[in-house]
Structure formats: C-alpha cells, structure tokens
Structure 1
Amino acid sequence: MVESLSRCVKWDASGGKSGSAFLKTLDDRFIAKELSRAELQAMETFAPAYFDYMSSAVTANRPTLLAKIFGCFKISFKKTHKEKSSRTKMTQMNLLVMENLFYDQQFSKIYDLKGSTRNRHVHVTGRINEVLLDENLIQTAHLAPFYLREHSKRIIRGALYNDSKFLADLNVMDYSLVVGVDSEKNELVVGIVDYIRTYTWDKKLESWVKDSAFLANRGEPTIVSPKQYRLRFLDAMERYFPIVPDRWMKHHDAPEEEINGVSDLWI
C-alpha cells in the first residue's frame, strides 16, 4: 500500500461537485480524496463505527457495497516561494485513502446514482469513462434495463438495505451508488461512495427552505434528512435493477434464449 501511494498523480474525478482534490496511484489500485475540515471531524466519529461495521460484515459473511476505506492520513510538506528572499511555507493536506472500485476494469458506461431526478442529467459526449447520472439511466432503461439474476438481486437488495441503515443511523446522506457496466461480460461492478457527508445544521436549514411553501412547486428537494434520503435511495435502486423475467413471467411463446443482457453482479 505504501509503495502504491508513493506514486500518485492528480485525477480529474468527473461526476463530483465537492471541489476536493483527488489523487490516484499509478498502479490504479487506490484513490486518495482531500478531506475538508468538516469531513475530517466527521471521520473521528464515523471511522470507529465504520470499521466495526465492516469487521462484523466479514465475520458474518454479510455482503456490503461500501467502497473500502483504508484510513485517513495527514501529509505535511514545504513549499518554497521563488522570490528575492526565499520563504518556506509548511502546507498540510488531509487525505482519505480508499479502494479504486474500477481497478483493472474496462467499462462501456459508468453511472453515479443517488435515487433523485433533480439536476441528475448530463449531456452525453461519448468520452472515455464519462460519468452518467440518474436521468440518463432512466432515459435508456426502457431499451436496455439492468436485469439481474435472482441471486444477484437478492445480494444487492440486502446489501443496500443494511448499508443504508448503517449510514442513516450515523446521520449520513448524499452518498451514491457507482455502477460500471461491462457490456462484453454482461457484468455490473457496483459500490457505494461519498458516504462521509453528515446531515449538519446547514443541510437541515436548506431542507427546510426547500420544503417550504415558497418553493413548493419547484420539484423534489435537493437535500432531505438521512432517513428520507435512505428511503428514496432504496426505492430508486429497486426500480433501477429489475430482476430478470423467468419462464413464469415472460410470454409463453418466447424461447429462453431470447432473454439477453442479463448481468452478473460484482461488489
């Protein structure tokens, strides 16, 4: 891990709006995200609960979609200003190191899904590793839905239920389910990311304003409470990933071979 982190490059993580700096190791195994002061303070409470939860998941052989966190680190370095009187300034950066969900993978499409349709659409350009959002998926789902086999559906449903309950109990919201689509193998690689953000007083105020009569006709609120966010998230993911029709569901004249695009799940 140390060897990997010693060789990092700046990474333009499309899809995110936090403004945080991202680094990716040259071997593509780890991602490091710069933490704000508020996020670092939140980690003091979140980290012990997170590692307890992940440890219990391993012990009980319980699937989880939470992208694995390896720790928080503070980096200090000196920056020298090129002036007549050379001055040296100490700079610090707090980093969250986590796994790269898409290590050693090639995808035809990547989605960042929050279960909301408010401002969740991007113009498709066809760029490599372009990140699409909820509305992009909804627009194409009637032609190419993400059908899952019964076993995969059961795993993702259970993992989403447990993970989202864990996050809601810790007052966490605004997380995303990232989905990588491997069209050649008919596989989906999925994981929950951005689950450090807590429901602070400023988010409560924004939620109250959005829910007020003054903005009542402008669609669903951007910010909701963690419990509301969880319910909306679970409901959307249930619709986004339908179970594959079996011989009891499909038309009696359709041969079994006609069911295409069935995806296996990797978490």
Structure 2
Amino acid sequence: MMKNILMLLFVIAFLDSSFAQSNDSRKTEPIKSDSLQSRYTGNLLEDSRIALNGYNKSVNSPEVSLSGKKSPLLAGLFSLILPGSGEAYAQSYWKAAAFLAVEAVAIGASLYYDKKGDDATLDFQRYANANWSAVRYAEWLNKYASEVANESDVVSNIKIDPDATKAPQDRVSFAEINAVERQIPRFSHVLPGYGEQQYYELIGKYHQFNHGWKDSDPDTPVYLTNLPQQMLDYAQMHIKPDDTFYKYSQRAVVAMVINHVLSAFDAAWTASRYNKSLAVNMQLKQVELYGVSELYPQVNLTYSF
C-alpha cells in the first residue's frame, strides 16, 4: 500500500515539473503573429499598454459631408422680394431685423407723406374753388379783351348764365372763353377744363388769369403787375405738395428700392460666409481594441470667426 502511494506521488511530481517547463518554454518563445492578441503577455499592466497603443491604428472611411450649405442665389432672391428674409434664411437674424425695420419705416414714410400731399392738394383745390371764378374771368374778358389785345376786332361775347345759384364753371362755356383767349396774342395759354390738374396749376401761375380771383380789381385792363394776394398765396399752396410731401414720399420709395438691392447683395454674401464658417464632416473610423475591430462615427465640427 505504501509503495503504491509513493509511486503516485512520484508521477504527480513528474507531471507538474513537465507542465512548468512547458510554460517557461512558451514564455521565452518569440511571438511571430502581428495581431494584438498574439502579443499579449498575460500581464495586466503590459497588456493594457499594448492595447492602448493599438488603439491608434485605424483606417478612415470615405468622408461624408453634412455641411448644411445655404444657397447665396436663393438668399439674394428672398431679400430682393422682402428685405431681411434672405438674411433670416442664412440665420443672420439681427441683420434680418435691421433690413426689415428699414423697409417698414420706408413704407410708413411713403404712405404718410403721400397722404399729406393728398390733403394739401385738397386744401389748395378748395381754396381755388372758393376764390377763383370762371364767371369773373369771363366778365373781365368781355369788358377788356379788345383793349388787352390792342385790336378792335376781337370778338368777346362769352355768354354768362345769370343763375347765381349754380357753380361758376356751370354758368359759362369754357369753349367760348378759349375762343376769346386765342384772339389775344399776349396770352400764352387757354383755360383748361374745370377740375383738371392744369386748371388748378395755371390759374395760380399765369398772370392772364389774374382777374378770376375774388380780390382782383375788375375795372382795369392791367393784369401783369397788379396780382392779388389771393393769387400769390394760392401759388405757394399749390407748389407745397409737390415740393415737400410728394417729394418726401418719392424719396422713401427710392429708399425702399435701395434697401431691397442692398439686402439682396448682403443676403448672398451672408449665405456665402455661413457656408465658409460652418463645416461639418462625418467619418467612419475602424479601430482595433483588444484584438477586435470596431467601426464608429466621428464628427469634426469647426467654426471660424
């Protein structure tokens, strides 16, 4: 029995010695494989270092662009239609607000001064209707046409309706007035039809219409040097809408056009800068870690000021 036990112990010792020699032999053999797994030593610290070094070995996949570019042409078209809209499209919201504000102010100014001009026009028309009369002018022509023309054969027989309840322009024939005016060489114009733009302009501009005003002297053939104050005041009233209100309204319209053009160019430029300032690229990286190859997405985001 004892002999059998000793024999068993001898066999175990021999096998253990052989296994240990085998392990020592494997440790000292050089590793021929190039893979990370074949280079592991069994030492945790050493194997971690080898794995981390292997992390840097990667293969780039083809680049995928995700830049989200804006079209400068489209941005310019937007702002040409509505200033600021192209800047908003290019995500420049402060500039969008500025151009839109200029547009709103210009539109408001144009409408405001256009309304002021219309009101001033109504004012001088009412003044003329109240103070200048085709009847008075016709009466003066009937009385002094020959003397003003320095010709005795001037025919001036303008018919005047005696019904004073009618408006002056309804009591006389403008055609008959014009026929007399054409016989007077010194007269440069004929009276336009009532209510026409030229009607309201000429009665305050040319001296020959002097005697249609209420404050004029009906008993003199003189008409060049004795202008009534009403005519002088009316002349100033008549030029005010065009020289001030309508002119300001037109300037506001010009400002609107300029704002549209400037905003269109700025929007195109802003969209171009947006495309240059923001670049987003996505790549797929192949990484070997602990002998295992993995693919993962990588996003590179750069923003330049």
- Give the shorter-chain TM-score range: under 0.3
Structure with bigger RCO (C-alpha 8 Å, 6+ apart):
2
Structure with greater proportional helix content: 2
TM-score, normalising length: structure 1: 0.18
